[in-house]
Structure 1
Amino acid sequence: MSNRVLKGLSAGGGFRAIVVEATEAVQGLMDAQLGAQPLSEQRDRVSEILGQVGLAAVLVRVEMAPDQRLQLSLRTKDGSCFADSHPDGLLRGVVSGKCPNFGEQTILQVSRVLEDGQLHQGMVEAETDMTATLTQYMLQSEQVVATVGLHVDVEGGVTKSARGFMVQVLPGASREVMEEVIRALEGIEAKWWEQHPDLLLLDLLGGAGHFTLESEVKFGCTCNQESVLDALGSLNPSEIQEMIDDGEDLEMGCQYCGKSYQITLSELDSLMT
């Protein structure tokens, strides 16, 4: 099944829903970040958390900033899981340090650009799981009443499924609309992640509505030789000079995709001019 995002509006226009199918994209995230680690239940658990963070980033971007890049992280003082969702559907992520567990001192943070160009950052303390945490974030930081579902199943290093949904009640919704949303949520299948995405979206819309968006989601990276040189150029000149004094070409790897880049001494020299 192709990885994609579907969005729809209920027949009465009182609420909308998003479905994300991203099994292959989450596999790409996992392979890039954890592929070098031996297979284990712990690796699968970290993969599932990374996949949930990736799904959450796509859901929030499509709902709140479909034409903007959005970054979402789950972090503690010991490490983080980070996802970067782009408007062209590209999704990438990073596991840094110890992958967070849900509980005390775990923070969910979202960064995105508003229409006026200002940076919007919101954060909440994590709840007992990612679904509850994202629901709380939408209410507290975005002032949006939403119901969220996230499901990532990884076994033996293989992503069996990665699916998410969000149902948002639009501002000014009546009691009748709220009751309609409740009926729709109660009517979805227990294992909703096994449904075809189109049918799941239709169920979330209460059996009737309009599909308003279909787009791609895929694992990928934006790194290239120029961006690596730009990153090096931001270092203190004394640090760059130390690299030059070592007398050897520099090898750097992208933290998102693992691709290696060779930086020659002449390229390092050019950063000093």
Structure 2
Amino acid sequence: MRPKQLNFPPNPDYGTGSTIRRVSLRAGTDRIDGHLLDNFHEMRCSIMHDASIVTAITGQSIRIPTTVCPGAVDQLQSLVGIPIRTSMRDFYAKGIARHHCTHLLDLAVMAIGHAQSPSTEMLYQAEVPDELELPVPISIWRNGRLVFRWLVRQGAILEPQEFQGRPLGAGFAAWASLAFERDQLEAATILARTWLIAIGRRYRPSQAAGRPARDNPEMIGRCYAYSAGLVKTAVMTGAKEVHLNHHRRKA
């Protein structure tokens, strides 16, 4: 579930743009490299494996919202030794994700999933237009081909009818993990995460540099940076929003 309100200056341009997230995954024989880029984040993650388990993992936080976010890279070491055939759902069981950076964990989980498909490359692009009063179409493409286009309003899917009423926030993983298999679940998760971060377009986080992260109490307990101990010292970085161009896409 995303917060309803963040304590940042409002963005006067909200309603004129979109939130875009790109995720690339490149698999070799025993290594998968992942890169995540969106309006508010940029991260990299690489996993090494022996065709059975994860043998090593590295991460890099390039553009992040708080000063403590880079520490989440160390949390990835808990994934070393995990079987590469672990289901996506299992990575998020029992509140494990709250101990990680949400976005870095997502990237690592996808990289591990692609360890089963060596020598392949995936490029996802998700787009969530600014939502005012009317429903908006949110979409995701894989290697230039449309995977999903959902009409949504206030965090619930309106169309297609088979998913009508399904949430994009709290409860998303429960229904999506039953409705979709591997690649489709991967695409659906990226699209839901893009909707999640799209609230950031309502604000100007860059104007909050130096403010304590605890100024956003709705975020406490949601992820690594907002865990009870770290949020006491976390400070907003004021990283500027990056406006991404649309890639040419196939129908």
Scaled by the length of structure 2, the TM-score of the pair is: 0.30
Query: Whose Rg is larger?
Result: 1
